[in-house]
């Protein structure tokens, strides 16, 4: 598997399944504090990059569907004209998430150091798979590369904060090291790291041809995002110019 210095999409054979979806969803105006399971070094199975098709349902659910692609194209049917975007993903232990808006009574209210700004903290304490866009000119990926270089070539050395701001066309992310936070993965959870599927196997199982993937024809209610607003406009301002199989 490619490390932080050489994440590129190449054709691979799928694994035997990664189980159900265990993803970190980046909510608007949230800050996710995590410790990466992936070191980012070469041959790290817990980090990879992918081409992913995304399209929206128009059946009233408002849901989005993802389909993994390899160099020969999508692994399942997608709406005509739909183009994939390039993503990177890695396993991480999510310590907590700070939200700007309280949507769950279980979230704890805290004040930031200015004494005025409130945040609502969701305690997670679990492994989740993190998928992010490369961003325009690879800006989000380069944020992660900066952390990797600052920590001597090992992303597991500390806490990383991923911030999402805005929504729709105005969505932006930032990825930064948190030198003052000393959150650790509990020892009993570290023992479970070997049970996690590789990054590619997780994507193959959930968005490719694995057991958790939906198979069959494209739903009649599906709309290609290229017909209205592209996924780059929906999330991350990412542009896709040329695909590896074109």
- Which of 149, 141, 136, 179 has its CA nearest to residue 161? 179
The tens-digit pLDDT sequence of the chain (246 residues) is 567 666 533 333 333 334 467 999 999 999 999 999 999 999 899 999 999 999 887 777 667 889 999 888 999 999 988 999 999 999 999 999 999 999 999 999 999 889 999 999 999 999 999 999 999 999 999 999 999 999 999 999 999 999 999 887 789 999 999 988 889 999 999 999 999 999 999 999 999 987 666 555 565 555 544 433 444 344 444 433 333 333
Torsion of CA 210, 193, 155, 186, to 10 degrees: 140
The DSSP H or E segment spanning 44 is none
- At residue 188, the 3 state secondary structure works out as helix
pLDDT of residue 169: 76
Torsion of CA 175, 152, 184, 112, to 10 degrees: -40
- Which of 195, 205, 155 has its CA nearest to residue 175? 155
State how far the Cα of 48 lies from the Cα of 129, in Å rounded to an integer. Answer: 11
pLDDT of residue 7: 57
Locate the domains of the chain by residue range. 30-234
pLDDT of residue 185: 96
State how far the Cα of 232 lies from the Cα of 210, in Å rounded to an integer. Answer: 26
DSSP label of 5:
T
The DSSP H or E segment spanning 178 is strand 172-178
Burial bucket for residue 187 (CB in 10 Å: 0-12, 13-18, 19+): exposed
pLDDT of residue 244: 38
pLDDT of residue 167: 84
CA distances from 199 to 13, 33, 206 (A): 13, 20, 11
What backbone torsions phi and psi does residue 133 show, to the nearest 5 degrees? Answer: -75, 155
């Amino acid at each position: 598997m490619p490390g932080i210095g050489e994440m590129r999409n190449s054709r691979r054979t799928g694994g035997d399944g990664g189980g159900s979806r265990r993803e970190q969803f980046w909510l608007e105006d949230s800050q996710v504090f995590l410790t990466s399971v992936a070191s980012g070094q070469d041959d790290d199975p817990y980090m990879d990059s992918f081409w992913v098709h995304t399209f929206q349902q128009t059946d009233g659910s408002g849901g989005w569907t993802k389909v993994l692609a390899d160099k020969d194209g999508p692994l399942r049917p997608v709406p005509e004209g739909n183009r994939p975007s390039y993503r990177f993903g890695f396993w991480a232990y999510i310590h907590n998430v700070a939200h700007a808006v309280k949507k769950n009574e279980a979230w704890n209210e805290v004040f930031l150091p200015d004494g005025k700004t409130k945040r609502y903290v969701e305690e997670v304490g679990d492994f989740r798979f993190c998928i992010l866009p490369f961003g325009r000119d690879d800006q989000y990926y380069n944020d992660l590369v900066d952390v990797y270089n600052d920590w001597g070539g090992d992303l597991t050395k500390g806490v990383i904060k991923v911030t999402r701001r805005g929504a729709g066309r105005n969505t932006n992310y930032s990825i930064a090291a948190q030198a003052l936070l000393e959150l650790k993965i509990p020892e009993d959870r570290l023992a479970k790291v070997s049970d996690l599927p590789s990054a590619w196997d997780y994507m193959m199982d959930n968005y490719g041809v694995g057991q958790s993937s939906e198979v069959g024809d494209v739903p009649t209610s599906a709309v290609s995002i290229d017909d209205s607003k592209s996924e780059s406009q929906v999330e991350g301002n990412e542009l896709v110019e040329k695909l590896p199989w074109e």
